[in-house]
Amino acid sequence: MGSAPVSDHVYVSDTVRTAVKVLIVGHFAVGKTTFVGTLSEIKPLRTEETMTQAGALIDDLAGIPNKTTTTVAMDFGRLTLSEHLVLYLFGAPGQKRFTQLWKDMMYGALGALVLADTRRLDQSFDIMGLLEEHGMPYAVAVNQFDGAPVFPEEEIREALDLLPETPLVTCDARDTASSTKALISLVEHLQTRTAPAQEHR
């Protein structure tokens, strides 16, 4: 499993015609920082801090005893998906106390990829509810952690109460190919939503 090659330059190709801001969201310790780092073609901006004893008392560390850092603002990366399309990836911190920051980060975003963990599916409801409240389209990617239980897609879809049109895929945030596939599922979802509007112009 490898990360996306980091570009020697920070400039966007002059062939790019469309730049899209997408959010990478999900509950605490679901792999957002890893996901952005795996895909970013530039050195990702990270705002991780070492977890304190006080933070450990607030944040649910069940099943993730080796978690030692946490994102306190955001992760940022860039992925050129095609010669004409570049995605700007904004990873949001997962704790509920950052709800206002989640709302602020939605400004200008066209959609969100929600990372989920089969060991803690119920913790995805807060962020999905907020996205729905603000009319933000999203896709769900189940991050495949080592040792995490595997369930059929229909069971996960039912557990998360997803609409039939909401994309649901699996990925490994450490793997470039599967993470790219997850992002493509979101982009295709956004395209299907905008196509009818364009046809009626």
Mean pLDDT value across the chain: 85
Q: What is the pLDDT of residue 195?
A: 65
Total count of domains within the chain: 1
| 10 in any annotated domain | no
Q: What is the pLDDT of residues 134-168, one digit of tens each?
A: 999 999 999 999 999 999 999 999 999 999 999 99
* Range in 112-121, 141-150, 190-199 the model is least confident about: 190-199
pLDDT bucket at 52, cuts 50 / 70 / 90? very low
| 53 in any annotated domain | yes
Q: What is the pLDDT of residue 188?
A: 97
Task: Record the pTM.
Answer: 0.82
| 122 in any annotated domain | yes
Q: What is the pLDDT of residue 74?
A: 85
| 50 in any annotated domain | yes
Domain that holds residue 131: 18-199
* Chain-centroid distance, C-alpha 55: 23
pLDDT bucket at 13, cuts 50 / 70 / 90? confident
Pick from 43, 52, 42: nearest CA to 72: 52
